[in-house]
Amino acid sequence: MDFNHLSLQVADIARRAGQFIRQEAANFDRGRVENKGLHDMVSYVDQQSERQLVAELSALLPKAGFITEEGTTTIGRTEEFNWIIDPLDGTTNFIHGQPAYCVSVALIQRDTLVVGVVYEINLDECFRAARGAGAFCNEKPIRVSSADDLHDSLLATGFPYYKFDQLDNYLKILASFMQNTHGLRRVGSAALDLAYVAAGRFDGYFEFNINSYDVAAGILLVLEAGGRVTQFLEDGDPIFGREVVASNGALHPAMMATVKEYWGK
């Protein structure tokens, strides 16, 4: 299978979903928001975007299964290929009119990511990657940054909105990075954070309590752009392990040293 060609087709599908989201953003009614859990919101826009993505991706690769955020499809996981979809990553931003949200689509073959697309709707930037074929933004090749000193880096992270048992350790990690980098940014979309690491806009990113559909596409972008991705304590699978540390590679040892110093204690 030509995964590079497939990634181009997926990028077109993500753009079409993004066009729907862009249209709905103009007159969005916050009264139509539902709560899935503590501080975890969903709107009809998320759900309709997911239905649209599932329909088009099913036509593209009929035998593939789905791992989705909103559960709008009855198509389950399969043994060989599975799409991992976040139809609107950055829902809270979208609901509040903050222009940082995207469509995220990945394809995994057994345990290996083979396609990843993140479409940033407001800037009309489509990041895509295919296994072994590199990473691109609007069809221009992208690479991770060349920063090799933590003190010269800009990092991204996300804030937990539930499950706060590790909050004290997380705040210690934040404090250390605040004192030893150019700064920390919280965009509000894990998929965008990872895409920006791949493009060299961030030098690294870390977050916990996240799901596969938040990070799968972005992880492949970082890897294909020359970066590195692990869990907080390195062993395990960052796609499904609910913890991610991503970097340009050169900064990974320093980032991991800080995380390991405080995490899990």
- Give the residue numbers of the binding site: 69, 86, 88-89, 214
CA 123 centroid distance within chain? 16
Annotated binding site for Mg(2+): 69, 86, 88-89, 214
For residue 193, give the H/E element and its range: helix 190-198
DSSP string, 69-124: SS--------SSEEEEEEEEETHHHHHTT-S--EEEEEEEETTEEEEEEEEETTTT
Number of CB atoms found within 10 A of residue 222's CB: 31
| Contacts of range 247-251, beta carbons closer than 8 Å, 24 or more positions apart | 247/144, 247/197, 247/203, 247/204, 247/205, 248/144, 248/145, 248/146, 248/147, 248/197, 248/200, 248/203, 248/204, 249/144, 250/146, 250/147, 250/148, 251/147, 251/148, 251/149, 251/150, 251/153, 251/203, 251/204
